């Protein structure tokens, strides 16, 4: 069955008792058991819940995993994956990654004596060179955030496995519609379900998907032991989101492409970063690794300073000034002051997250309206001759 058919039918069989096409939302915290010491399929909702299970079943299928685990947020999911590490271990992570992942690695895990280095994972030689005998995990995003850097997932899997490391891929930007990292050799796929999976800016959620049963059991143990599970309402909304995921993502990609091409012709814009453009570093890898489209996230540098970029982000009417991404409404933000403010300034500068950078998440509005909105904001924040 094709992706979009599985997204609708796998994990969503009609309720066996009533025939309801949509299963009830099971809010029960606990479940009656057949006998003392005899356990039914579900016993306590932290350990397992039927509504959460339905979402996990669909997502695992779409990513090609043996199982998925749904969490209260994307950060809870990433944290759980990092709990596989022990004191003394070293994590190698992409240099343009989600700001919250940077914070978790640099300001929380470092207290457990887990070391982290950032490396431009688009450069495989640099990845190889940064590996130490203590490196046990490579954590990447492709496209990266906020620079849309492209990382060759299959090549990273090969490097990681040659050094006995795990490869984790934050697949939030690409979604399983465009990239399925497990098929490319990754060990762990992570999602912020808050973004494209939910798709409507109305929930927080996260997920891990793996293809190895032993790793799944380890992560399940950690999830149950620490408890940051996804609630039943969010699980229901995520199941619903998956049903329209492919349609939303493909349409949003189409509009993002039009916006990227339009911005690239604008003299007020110094550089457009969109993996679908032939001038984007890593475009050829993106073409191979992404299924027919290049995502609905893009960033661009304005010919102006911090203040000009700030003004621009504050001047759009349709693009809402907000962090987050992947939903039906378009969003705009300035990474230097918003999504990546938790980076040390030096790390931001070394890795090219400049003051004049603007990141947008393209929603489901019409291209013409979004273009006019950006055009207006550019006109009042930057002079055309600059």
- The active-site residue, picked from 23, 52, 96, 98, is 98
Q: Which of residues 360-379 bind ligand PLP (CB under 6 A)?
A: none
Q: Does 195 qualify as catalytic in the annotation?
A: yes
Give yes or no for residue 100 binding ligand PLP (CB under 6 A): yes
Q: Which residue in the set 82, 182, 188, 204 belongs to the binding site for ligand PLP (CB under 6 A)? A: 204
Of 61 and 93, which CB lies nearer to ligand PLP in the complex structure? 93
Give yes or no for residue 194 binding ligand PLP (CB under 6 A): yes
Of 51 and 339, which CB lies nearer to ligand PLP in the complex structure? 339
Q: Does 98 qualify as catalytic in the annotation?
A: yes
Give yes or no for residue 75 binding ligand PLP (CB under 6 A): yes
Choose among 205, 233, 175, 218: nearest CA to 67.
218
Map tokens 């819940």 to a residue.
49
Q: Which residue in the set 65, 74, 122, 282 belongs to the binding site for ligand PLP (CB under 6 A)? A: 74
Q: How many CA atoms are closer than 13 Å to the CA of 28, on its beta-carbon side? A: 13
287: its two tokens: 């073409």
Distance separating alpha carbons of residues 34 and 357, to the nearest angstrom? 59
Of 42 and 187, which CB lies nearer to ligand PLP in the complex structure? 187
Contact (Cβ atoms closer than 8 angstroms) between residue 56 and residue 207: yes
In the complex, least distance from residue 194 CB atom to ligand PLP, rounded to whole angstroms: 4
Give yes or no for residue 11 binding ligand PLP (CB under 6 A): no
Q: Which stretch binds ligand PLP (CB under 6 A): 102-110, 168-176, 233-241, 330-338?
A: 168-176
Query: What residue ranges in the chain does DSSP mark as E strands?
Result: 67-71, 90-94, 115-119, 135-141, 166-170, 188-192, 206-210, 269-273, 297-302, 320-321, 331-333, 357-361
Map tokens 């349409």 to a residue.
251
Give yes or no for residue 145 binding ligand PLP (CB under 6 A): yes
Q: Please count the residues of the chain.
A: 386
In the complex, least distance from residue 75 CB atom to ligand PLP, rounded to whole angstroms: 4
DSSP code string of 24-45: -----SB---SBTTB--S-SBT
Give yes or no for residue 298 binding ligand PLP (CB under 6 A): no
Give yes or no for residue 195 binding ligand PLP (CB under 6 A): yes
∠323-324-328 over CA atoms, to 5°?
A: 120
Active site residues: 46, 98, 170, 195
């Amino acid at each position: 069955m094709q992706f979009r058919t599985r997204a609708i039918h796998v994990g969503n069989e009609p309720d066996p008792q009533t025939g309801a096409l949509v299963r009830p939302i099971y809010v029960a915290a606990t479940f009656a058991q057949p006998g003392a010491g005899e356990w039914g399929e579900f016993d306590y909702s932290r350990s397992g819940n039927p509504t959460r299970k339905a979402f996990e079943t669909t997502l695992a299928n779409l990513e090609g995993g043996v199982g998925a685990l749904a969490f209260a947020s994307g950060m809870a999911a990433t944290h759980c994956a990092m709990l596989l590490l022990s004191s003394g271990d070293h994590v190698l992570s992409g240099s343009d990654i989600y700001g919250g992942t940077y914070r978790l690695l640099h300001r929380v895990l470092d207290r457990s004596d887990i070391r982290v280095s950032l490396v431009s994972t688009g450069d495989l030689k640099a990845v190889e060179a940064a590996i130490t005998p203590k490196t046990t995990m490579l954590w990447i995003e492709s496209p990266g955030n906020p620079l849309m850097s492209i990382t060759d997932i299959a090549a990273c899997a090969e490097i990681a496995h040659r050094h006995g490391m795990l490869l984790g891929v934050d697949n939030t930007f690409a979604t399983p519609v465009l990239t399925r990292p497990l098929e490319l050799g990754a060990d762990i796929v992570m999602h912020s379900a808050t973004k494209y999976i939910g798709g409507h800016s109305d929930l927080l959620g996260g997920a891990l998907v793996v293809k190895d049963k032993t790793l799944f059991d380890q992560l399940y143990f950690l999830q149950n032991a620490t408890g940051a599970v996804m609630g039943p309402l969010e699980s229901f909304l995520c199941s619903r989101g998956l049903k329209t995921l492919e349609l939303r993502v493909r349409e949003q990609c189409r509009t993002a492409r039009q916006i990227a091409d339009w911005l690239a012709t604008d003299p007020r814009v110094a550089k457009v970063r969109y993996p679908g453009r032939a001038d984007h570093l890593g475009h050829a890898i993106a073409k191979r690794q992404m299924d027919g489209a290049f995502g609905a996230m893009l960033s661009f540098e304005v010919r102006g300073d911090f203040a000009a970029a700030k003004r621009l982000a504050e001047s759009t009417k349709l693009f809402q000034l907000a962090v987050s991404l992947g939903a039906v409404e378009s969003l705009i933000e300035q990474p230097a002051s918003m999504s990546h403010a938790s980076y040390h300034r030096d790390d931001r500068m070394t890795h090219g997250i400049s003051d004049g950078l603007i990141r947008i998440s393209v929603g489901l509005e019409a291209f013409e309206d979004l273009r006019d909105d950006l055009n207006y904001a550019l006109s009042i924040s930057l002079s055309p001759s600059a």
